Amino acid sequence: MKKEIKVAANLLQQGYVVAIPTETVYGLAANAFDEKALAQIFEIKKRPLFNPLIVHIKSIDYLHTIAKNIPAIALDLANHFWPGALTLVLEKKSIIPDIVTGGKNTVGIRIPSHTIALSLLEKLDFPLAAPSANPFGYISPTTSEHVKKQLGDKIPYILEGGSCEKGIESTIIGFENNKPILYRVGAISKEEIEKIIGKIETKNTASASPEAPGMLSKHYSPKTKFFVSENISDNIENNINKNIGFLLFKKTSQPLSYNKYIQLSLNEDINEAAQNLYAAMHRLDAMNFEAIYAEKVPEKGIGISINDRLYRAQEENFDFTIE
């Protein structure tokens, strides 16, 4: 593995964009201080420039190199959750170029909890700006294969790191008048965060110019029409002979043939479901169904984040009738 990390480090030092593994999803990384390299991220992803990038750092100490006026609560959260799937949006220092932050005076920062990503960061004397390594609006990648399929011809290297352990993007917290605000639900549940800092307000809504455009209402979408259902057994029953795929959380008692569905976790384990979510969406999307119905998961803990991603993947006009 050492050799591969060195290859990635060399390319990044030369200003190339490289896909890297993290515990949440794969990222499309570049030197966070190199504007030319950063511009390529936006080009490769076809990502609008107003949509800021997350900066990945190697240590809590390093935080002070790129952020200032850091609220005490932010440090508490960093100490508790880093390395981990929590992104903190903090006031940026001028060393962070505007292209990273979409012109905002804040920057999203986290330490990834992935040994390969951390060894890579150790080798570099700059942090890595990295959005998820998918074309804008499409399903996030949780394996190197996903990255290869979507962006393989556009980047010089994909650093292999296995399947992502969490499978869903980081939770994003920012501050308004020193008060913490939850901007994106993610791999760390709101409950876990509230255990450390008490009740936190959520602003996880879609709008034309959202704080975190990961919240744009249509996002994380497969190419196949995608619908979320609260009553999947009815949907299965009504569509059993049609070319429709199902993304299930619970075991179904209906006679659905094996090539028509994926169950996210055989034990109905919510963490495993999160881990498998995007891979299952990628697979169903490649199966040429006319549409995919996804079962809403129990709305608690990490299930809230899974449902968030399912609803964002959903067709905007929910008037689904296939004859």
- The yes or no reply on residue 106 touching ligand TXA (CB under 6 A) is yes
Using CB under 6 A as the binding rule, the residues of this chain from 150 to 169 that contact ligand TXA are 169
Q: Alpha carbon of 305 to those of 62, 88, 149, 181, 191: distances in Å?
A: 29, 17, 25, 16, 12
Q: Check the annotation: does 265 bind a ligand.
A: no
Instruction: Give the helix/strand (H/E) hosting 55.
Output: strand 54-56
- The yes or no reply on residue 132 touching Mg ion (CB under 5 A) is yes
**Which residue type, as a one-letter code, is found at position 269?**
D
- The yes or no reply on residue 221 touching ligand TXA (CB under 6 A) is no
What is the b/e burial string over 147-180, where b = at least 16 CB atoms within 10 angstroms of the residue's CB?
beebbeeebebbbbbeebbbbbbbbbbbbeeeeb
- Comparison of 5 and 107: residue with beta carbon closer to Mg ion: 107
Neighbouring CB atoms inside 10 A of 60's CB total 13
Residues 231-235: contacts with CB under 8 Å, at least 24 apart: 232/293, 232/295, 232/296, 235/293
- The yes or no reply on residue 21 touching ligand TXA (CB under 6 A) is no
- Comparison of 7 and 39: residue with beta carbon closer to Mg ion: 39
- Comparison of 87 and 150: residue with beta carbon closer to ligand TXA: 87
Q: Which stretch binds ligand TXA (CB under 6 A): 34-42, 207-215, 257-265, 310-318?
A: 207-215
Please state the closest distance from residue 308 (CB atom) to ligand TXA, in A.
12
Distance in angstroms (rounded) separating the CA atoms of residues 301 and 143 = 24
Q: Check the annotation: does 78 bind a ligand.
A: no
Please state the closest distance from residue 133 (CB atom) to Mg ion, in A.
9
For strands 171-176 and 106-110, give the pairing: unpaired
Q: Check the annotation: does 309 bind a ligand.
A: no
Residues interacting with ligand TXA, by CB under 6 A?
22, 24-25, 27, 51-54, 85, 87, 89, 101, 104, 106-108, 130-132, 169-170, 172, 174, 183, 211-214
List the binding residues.
24, 47, 51, 56, 106, 110, 130, 132, 140, 170, 184, 220
